[in-house]
Amino acid sequence: MNEINQYPEVLTIAGTDSGGGAGIQADTKTMQAYEVFSTQVIVGVTAQNTIGVQELFPLPASIIASQFKSVFGDFDIKALKTGALFDKEHVQIVVDNLKQYSFNNLVIDPVMVAKGGAKLLSDDAIATLKQNLLPLGTLVTPNLLEAEILCDQEIKTYDDMKMAAKKIRDLGVENVMIKGGHTDNQTEIYDYVLFSDDTDLWLNAPRIDTKRTHGTGDTLSSAIISNLAKGFSLKEAIKNAHEYLKKIIKNPLLIGHGHGPLNHGNWEN
């Protein structure tokens, strides 16, 4: 087949993971599983594995801008996402570059707080993300701790999740998905989605006792943009991505000595 754009083309804007479980590596593996073509703008490089992050190096603004120019100068990007953006300067670099190009379907994975509670972005970087990046987004996908920071309130109940989503949407992003909500129910995990038209969606999955969950946020956002690039509505894309994540978490890879990677290709063990 000689026609160009044989497969939908997508873009991830994030950092690398030398351990292969998160970041751009997880994004690319997810996109490959969905049979969409992945392009990348690498914002920074990390040395990490399943045990932790040993070192990181944000890239200079000039090479980031050159990557944006290369990608948008050749590829027909149907959907795109941001992941780890490292610091205030690099959040703003990404914002400034995005504003130079036309695009649809931007999913923002804020990558602000790790599952264990450690902050991954400084307060000034979070402020820049809220003020300058969120208004460019189609969807933002914070975990519960990130949602608390974005809306400046504790989230303890399902009603809190709904209120938080409204507050986050008021920051300028069109749609909000808060991941991993649970109150007194320890057997189920609930995600809440608030759409731009004020309709909403609850998604639930059984809580699986596993530490093989490294890169779940990257994987979910990548699955969503892969579905969007293939023509699904946002609601369908979120549902499909949620089902994909449930499926691969139940079929883990026994790799690494810490929080292991997901089974993006759904390889049979």
Residue matched to tokens 């975990």 = 143
What length is written for the chain?
Answer: 269
Answer for the pair 43, 112: CB distance below 8 angstroms, yes or no: no
pLDDT band at 237 (very low <50, low <70, confident <90, very high): very high
Q: What is the pTM of this model?
A: 0.94
- pLDDT given at position 137: 98
pLDDT in tens, 124-178: 999 999 999 999 999 999 999 999 999 999 999 999 999 999 999 999 999 999 9
Q: Give the span between the Cα atoms of 34 and 50, in whole angstroms.
A: 24
Q: Give the span between the Cα atoms of 93 and 43, in whole angstroms.
A: 9
Phi-psi region of 125 (alpha: psi -120 to 50; beta: other; left: phi over 0): alpha
pLDDT in tens, 184-229: 456 888 999 999 999 999 999 888 878 888 889 999 999 999 999 9
- Name the residue with higher pLDDT: 202 or 259: 202
- CATH homologous superfamily of 9-249: Ribokinase (3.40.1190.20)
Q: Give the span between the Cα atoms of 7 and 243, in whole angstroms.
A: 22
- pLDDT given at position 1: 39
Which residues make Cβ contacts (< 8 Å) with residue 48, sequence separation at least 6? 17, 18, 19, 22, 54
